[in-house]
Amino acid sequence: MKYKKIFKWELFAGVAGILVINFILLNLLVNAVFKNVLDREINSRLAIISGNIEESLAPTAFSLSSEDKFTGFYSHSMDILMKIKDTRGMDITLFNNAGREAISTEKGFKLVESYLPPGNQSITYFESGVPVKIYSTPYSNSGKIYGSIVLTIRGRALAAFGEIRSLQTNIMLVLFAFALAVSFLFSFLFTRRIGQTVKSMESISKGGAIELIKVDWFDELSFLQSEINRMVHGLKVLEDTRYKEIQIVAMGLAHEIKNPAAAIYNLSEIIQRGKPDPKTAESITKIKSEVNRLNSITEKFIGFARDNELKKSSFVLGYFIGAIKEQYGSLEIVYDNIEANDSIHIDDVLMERALKNIIKNAYEAGASKTVLTVKKENGMINLEICDDAPVIPPETAAKIFIPFFTTKSTGMGIGLAITKNIVEKHGVSMEYDASSGKNCFRIKIPE
């Protein structure tokens, strides 16, 4: 099953979303409370100012209109309102009970009645980014209501509301960045151990070296990692035991076959010296040919069963790979971030045998092109052999390193098993991958 490494980002997005939503709601709540407190404070001051206006004006001021502009009473009333405007920094408009403007310090002011129903009312809003507050209170005298006093404040007098809005934006940006940082840290720490587990399982499933998971905590996931380590260790022991048992059986079988085969070959030669008739001579030749083929198979069994000790030395890459190129002339060699005259520390005989097994299998599987890429990366020398033969199905790929497993009618199924054994003797990893649409075998060797 193919998968994408996105769990960390899924968790990150989920945690970030939850934190951001919580921060937004908290910010809006605090902002609303702060605005309401400020609004009530301003309304209290405007109520006092409205009371002063109510004491300074006569009820007849609400019967004025634009037609009375040139009368002395109109001028007297306007002087009172302008003095308050200059002192308090606000516009004042008087409306009669019919909703008609009587007198105003602001030209063209129109009261939006739907905003301010009768009674003490106020509204604060932003107009082209500038805060505006409208406060309305009824004017009464001797128990009779003559109209409404409407106070309008703009700009600097309401700077606090603009500051609240700016502060709200800044707080949101800071909280958003904080939420992202916290959620990323949480998702990284939480998924790091899962990533280690997946990496180990991925390496094992591809036939690579078995790497135990580092357990550094004591929760449920740590217990799962410990159990996986125990299971993997058990599988490794079982695999090594099984491999040794197969080697012993292969060696015993080879010796049991080798002696009778040698006797048959010798008897065939004795008969051949007696100058038999042509038909018998032809049969003897066939017998010797089959005995030779049997000996070849026996040698393969012995080669598989023989537990050769490593003799590691430093070799020039170009010299080592050149020996392989001599046998497979069509093999393409690519050097990536490394030179042909650089060194590699290996048992050249065994590693050459391992690489040749892979290349031989590729051509036998129908490859027309095989590429050996040598790459230096993260302190490792990667030997990657890719071919264009039909990609090995996943169910088959899981078994290719098992001794005597083969899909070829004439194969014995020990070539890749020998290769994996040689690579693991070097203490390095080997894995198969077909994600690029090609069969690729990768061997990583320390510099």
Q: Is residue 278 located within the same domain as residue 333?
A: no
Looking only at Cα atoms, what is the longest distance across the chain? 157
Cα–Cα–Cα angle for 90, 92, 94, nearest 5°?
Answer: 170
> Is residue 348 domain-resident?
yes
- Residues 328 and 400 grouped into a single domain: yes
Q: Answer yes or no: is pLDDT of 33 > 70.
A: no
Candidate ranges 186-195, 197-206, 408-417; pick with highest mean pLDDT: 186-195
Q: What CA–CA distance (Å, rounded) separates 324 from 310?
A: 19
d(CA 351, CA 337): 21
Check residue 49 and give its pLDDT.
Answer: 85
Which residues lie below 8 Å from residue 83, measured CB to CB, with a gap of 6+? none
Instruction: Tell how far CA 416 is from the center of its chain.
Output: 34
Q: How many domains is the chain partitioned into structurally? A: 3
Asked whether residue 237 is assigned to any structural domain, the reply reads yes
11 belongs to a structural domain: yes
In a domain, 319, yes or no: yes
Per-residue pLDDT tens over the stretch 358-393: 998 899 888 999 999 999 988 889 999 999 999 988
Answer yes or no: is pLDDT of 114 > 50.
no
Average pLDDT for 78-103: 87
pLDDT over threshold 80, residue 429 = no
For residues 403 and 438, membership in a common domain is answered with yes
Both 80 and 226 in a single domain? no
Of 177-181, 270-274, 306-310, 401-405, which range is least confident? 306-310
**Whether residue 414 sits in one domain with residue 321:** yes
The reply to whether 134 falls in a domain is: yes
Per DSSP, 391 falls in state: P
Computed over every residue of the chain, the mean pLDDT equals 78
DSSP state of 411: -
Average pLDDT over residues 44-48: 83
Q: How many CB atoms lie within 10 A of CB 238?
A: 10
Mean pLDDT of 427-431: 81
Mean pLDDT on 30-35 = 63
Q: Are residues 277 and 348 in the same domain?
A: no
Tell me the pairing of strands 91-96 and 144-154. Answer: antiparallel
How many Å apart are CA 260 and CA 325, to the nearest integer?
38
**Amino acid identity, position 58:** A
Task: Identify the burial level of 144 via C-beta atoms within 10 angstroms of its C-beta, where 0-12 means exposed, 13-18 middle and 19 or more buried.
Answer: exposed
Condensed to tens digits (0 to 9), the pLDDT of residues 281-300 reads 888 888 888 888 777 767 66
Tokens read off for 347: 């048992």
Beta-bridge partner residues of 441: 385, 432
Averaged over 410-426, what is the pLDDT? 77
My answer on whether 325 and 437 are in the same domain is yes
Domain assignment of residue 242, yes or no = yes
| 340: DSSP letter | T
Q: Which of 109-113, 212-216, 272-276, 357-361 has the lowest mean pLDDT?
A: 109-113
Domain boundary residue among 285, 305, 325?
305
Domain presence at residue 192: no
Q: Are residues 283 and 328 in the same domain?
A: no
Angstrom distance (rounded) from CA 46 to CA 57: 16
Q: Give me the amino acid identity at 248.
A: I
Three-class DSSP category at 378 = coil
pLDDT score, position 308: 63
Write out pLDDT tens, residues 48-77: 888 888 888 888 888 888 888 888 899 998
Which ranges constitute the DSSP H helices of 274-381?
A: 278-305, 317-327, 348-364
* Structure-block tokens of residue 168: 């709200």
Domain, as residue range, for 276: 220-305
Q: Are residues 242 and 366 in the same domain?
A: no
Residues forming beta bridges with residue 344, ordered by sequence position: 315
CA distance 442 to 203: 11
pLDDT, tens digit, 9 for 90 and up, residues 146-190: 888 888 887 665 666 556 666 667 777 777 777 778 777 877 777
User: For 14-29, what is each residue's pLDDT tens digit?
Assistant: 777 777 777 677 666 6
Convert the pLDDT of each residue in 309-354 to its tens digit: 778 888 899 888 988 988 888 899 999 989 989 999 998 888 888 8
Residue 255 has pLDDT above 80, yes or no: no
Does 328 share its domain with 424? yes
Q: How far apart are CA 71 and CA 381, in angstroms?
A: 102
CATH of the domain at 124: 3.30.450.20
Report how far residue 169's alpha carbon sits from residue 165's, in angstroms, rounded to the nearest whole number.
6
Check which CATH number belongs to the domain holding 236 and give it.
Answer: 1.10.287
Q: List, for residues 202-235, the tens digit of each pLDDT value.
A: 666 655 556 677 777 677 777 777 877 787 777 7
* 6 compared with 421, residue with greater pLDDT: 421
Helix or strand or coil: residue 259?
helix
Distance CA 371, CA 385 (A): 6
| Residue 206: per-residue pLDDT | 58
Distance CA(89)–CA(439), nearest Å, equals: 82
Looking at residue 28, the DSSP 8-state letter turns out to be H
- Residue at which a domain ends, from 257, 272, 305: 305
Question: Given 268, 289, 305, which residue is the final one in a domain?
Answer: 305
pLDDT of residue 136: 86
Residue 163 located in a structural domain? yes
Which pLDDT score, from 0 to 100, does residue 261 have? 77
Residues 123 and 232 in one domain: no
Cβ–Cβ under 8 Å, residues 437 and 391:
yes
- Length of the chain (residues): 447
Examine the domain organization and report whether 251 and 395 are in the same domain.
no
Identify the CATH number of the domain in which residue 334 sits. Answer: 3.30.565.10
- Give the pLDDT confidence score for residue 301 in this predicted structure: 62
- pLDDT, residue 438, reads 92
Q: What percent of the chain has pLDDT over 70?
A: 78
Both tokens of residue 81?
Answer: 């309102």
pTM value? Answer: 0.46
